[in-house]
Amino acid sequence: MNNTLLSLTIAILFGIGTFLILRRDIVKVIIGLSVISHSVNLLIVSTGVFAGTKVPIITDDSGHGAAEATGTIFTDSLSQNILAPVLAAGNHVDFVDPLVQALVLTAIVISLAMTAFILILAYRIHEEYGTTDIKELRRLWG
């Protein structure tokens, strides 16, 4: 149920963003880009979320055994066909993937820089052309 709602949210946000990008107003296009970037960020976070999982901290207690105690293998050994990480049999650790949250932070920062740049660009376009209608930006045609 949770995952359905999440997928639905992502899809609707993406749809709204696409709709806004196809508008004629430059500011609406920029807002559309931001909305799409947020839906993509949600998608990235959602790839690490599973039902009934815990925070991604490996400790000794509550079933999250430490590496030595549970025999988790972190090192690759191609000759023995081991592709890390490998959990020992019988051990089961459920946790949310922490990496996607780091990825999403990077993506947010990048889209912040992009949005700042494109907003200033839109302001300069408004100064030069006296309009924010994207159909008027046709001096380069032909």
Among 68, 90, 113, 135, binds other proteins (CB under 8 A): 113
134-139 long-range contacts, CB within 8 A, separation 24+? 134/24, 134/25, 134/26, 134/29, 135/24
Among 27, 44, 93, 96, binds other proteins (CB under 8 A): 44
Cβ pair 84, 75 in contact under 8 A: yes
Q: Is 43 in the site for other proteins (CB under 8 A)?
A: yes
Q: Is 31 in the site for other proteins (CB under 8 A)?
A: no
Among 114, 131, 133, 135, binds other proteins (CB under 8 A): 114
Q: Is 86 in the site for other proteins (CB under 8 A)?
A: no
Cβ pair 85, 74 in contact under 8 A: yes
Q: Is 76 in the site for other proteins (CB under 8 A)?
A: yes
Q: Is 129 in the site for other proteins (CB under 8 A)?
A: yes
How far is CA 56 from its chain centroid?
18
Residue 59 CB, shortest distance to other proteins, in Å, is 18
Applying CB under 8 A, which residues contact other proteins? Answer: 21, 26, 29, 33, 36-37, 40, 43-44, 47, 74-76, 78, 83-84, 99-100, 103, 106-107, 110, 113-114, 117-118, 121-122, 124-125, 128-129, 137, 139-140
